[in-house]
Amino acid sequence: MKINDNLKVRTVAGENIVMMQGVDGTDMTRVVALNESALLLFNRLSGREFEVDDVVRVLTDEYEVNEADARKDAEAWVAEMKKNALVL
């Protein structure tokens, strides 16, 4: 999977957000807020193909977390990214 290259993170009122515009002039803008770890993953994995194992590796390299907990969090992050159409 790959994070959509058209998406950019913006900081608004201290919150890191991704805005997804509606198509064909429709007003269906959606905003997704990213917490610190979601932002780290977004930044580290943007611009390349990745799998859940890559997400686990970023989490275990950056945080003091065991692989089982990192995998649980990685799977949840990927599921949210898919649910919000942030990955292709």
Q: Render pLDDT for 9-52 as a digit per residue (tens, 0 to 9).
A: 999 999 999 987 655 555 557 889 999 999 999 999 999 999 99
pTM, rounded to two decimals: 0.88
φ/ψ bin of 14: left (φ > 0), alpha (ψ from -120 to 50), beta (otherwise): left
What pLDDT, on the 0 to 100 scale, is given for residue 21? 66
Higher pLDDT, 30 or 75: 75
The predicted model gives 68-74 an average pLDDT of 98
Q: What is the mean pLDDT of the chain?
A: 91
CA 9, CA 33: separation in Å to the nearest integer?
9
Q: Kindly list the structural domains of the chain, giving each domain's residue range(s) and its CATH number in brackets, ordered by start.
A: 9-83 (1.10.10)
- Residue 6: the pLDDT is 87
